[in-house]
Amino acid sequence: MGTQPSKIALLVSSLISLSAFSAIAAEATTPTTNIDETITVTGSRFDRSAEQQLTVINSIEREEIARLNPKSVADVLEILPGVSISRSGGAGQATSVSIRGSNSNHVLVLIDGVKVGSATLGTVSFNSLSPENIERIEVLKGPRASVWGSDAIGGVIQIFTRQLKGGEWFAGAEYGTNDYIRGSFGTGMEHGNGSTTLTVNHEQSDGYDVYNGAPVENDDDGYKRNAISLKGAQQINQNWQAQWNGQYDKGNTQYDDVYASGSADESDYANYLWNLAALYSNDKFSSKLALSQSRDYNENFRGDDINVPVSEFETKRDQVNWSNQYLAANELTFTGGIDWSNEAVKGDYAQDERDIFGAYLLVQKQWSKLLAEAAVRYDDVENIDSEVSYNASLAYQFNDQWRLAASTGTAFKAPTFNDLYWPGSGNPDLISETSESYDLTLHYTADNIRAYISVFENSIDNLIAWAPTGEKDDFGWDIWKPANINEARIQGVELSANFSVFSLDHQVAYTYLDAEDKQTGGELVGRSENEFNYQLSYIWQQFDLLANYHYQGKRYVGGTDYLDATHKVDLSVGYQLNDAWSLRLKANNLFDEEIISNQNYFSPGREFFFSVSYQAF
pLDDT digits (tens, 9 = 90+) for 465-474: 988 888 888 8
Give the Cβ contact number of residue 185 at 10 Å.
Answer: 16
Residue 49 — pLDDT band, cuts 50, 70, 90?
confident
Q: What is the pLDDT of residue 40?
A: 87
**CA separation (Å) from 416 to 100, 118, 121, 421, 560?**
22, 9, 6, 8, 31
Q: What is the pLDDT of residue 617?
A: 80
The answer to whether 583 and 603 are in contact (CB under 8 A) is no
Identify the bridge partners of residue 458 per DSSP, sorted by sequence position: 437, 490
Q: What is the pLDDT of residue 307?
A: 59
- pTM value is 0.91
In the predicted structure, residue 8 carries a pLDDT above the cut 70: no
- Pick the range with the lowest mean pLDDT from 259-268, 295-304, 398-407: 259-268
Query: What average pLDDT does this structure show over 509-523?
Result: 93
Torsion-angle region of 592 (φ positive above 0: left; ψ -120 to 50: alpha; else: beta): left
In the predicted structure, residue 392 carries a pLDDT above the cut 80: yes
Query: What average pLDDT does this structure show over 82-102?
Result: 92
In the predicted structure, residue 93 carries a pLDDT above the cut 70: yes
The answer to whether 111 and 247 are in contact (CB under 8 A) is yes
Cβ partners under 8 Å of residue 110, min gap 6 = 42, 116, 148, 156, 157, 158, 159
pLDDT digits (tens, 9 = 90+) for 539-574: 999 999 999 999 999 999 888 889 999 999 999 999
Mean pLDDT, rounded, of the chain: 89
The answer to whether 201 and 184 are in contact (CB under 8 A) is yes
The residue count of the chain comes to: 617
Q: What is the pLDDT of residue 308?
A: 60
Q: What is the DSSP letter of 126?
A: G
Quote the percentage of the chain above a pLDDT of 70: 91
The answer to whether 552 and 544 are in contact (CB under 8 A) is no
The answer to whether 79 and 548 are in contact (CB under 8 A) is yes
pLDDT digits (tens, 9 = 90+) for 442-490: 999 998 899 999 999 999 999 999 888 888 888 888 888 999 999 999 9
The answer to whether 526 and 513 are in contact (CB under 8 A) is no
In the predicted structure, residue 6 carries a pLDDT above the cut 80: no
- Pick the range with the lowest mean pLDDT from 226-235, 236-245, 258-267, 412-421: 258-267
Strands (E), 255-284: 266-281
Give the Cβ contact number of residue 443 at 10 Å.
Answer: 24
- The SS3 assignment for 475 reads coil
Torsion, Cα 281 287 291 293, to 10 degrees, reads: 100
Please report, for the domain that includes residue 201, its CATH number. 2.40.170.20
Cβ partners under 8 Å of residue 62, min gap 6 = 134, 135, 136, 162
**Residue 364: its H or E element:** strand 353-367
Amino acid making up residue 332: L
Residue 33 — pLDDT band, cuts 50, 70, 90?
very low
Domain range spanning residue 564? 5-616
Cβ partners under 8 Å of residue 289, min gap 6 = 277, 278, 320, 321, 322
pLDDT digits (tens, 9 = 90+) for 335-369: 999 999 999 999 889 999 999 999 999 999 999 99
Q: What is the pLDDT of residue 474?
A: 81
d(CA 268, CA 142): 33
- Which ranges in 367-500 belong to alpha helices (H)? 417-421
d(CA 519, CA 517): 5
Q: What is the pLDDT of residue 258?
A: 65
Q: Give backbone dihedrals phi and psi of 10, rounded to 5 degrees, phi first.
A: -65, -45
For the chain, how many structural domains are there in total? 1
Residue 13 — pLDDT band, cuts 50, 70, 90?
very low
Rg over alpha carbons for the chain, rounded to the nearest Å, is 24
pLDDT digits (tens, 9 = 90+) for 205-252: 999 988 876 555 678 899 999 999 999 999 999 999 999 999 999 999
Torsion, Cα 108 114 119 121, to 10 degrees, reads: -50
- Pick the range with the lowest mean pLDDT from 1-5, 170-174, 248-252, 317-321: 1-5
The answer to whether 291 and 320 are in contact (CB under 8 A) is yes
- The SS3 assignment for 163 reads coil
d(CA 577, CA 580): 8
Identify the bridge partners of residue 437 per DSSP, sorted by sequence position: 409, 458
Give the Cβ contact number of residue 239 at 10 Å.
Answer: 12
In the predicted structure, residue 35 carries a pLDDT above the cut 70: no
Residue 382 — pLDDT band, cuts 50, 70, 90?
very high
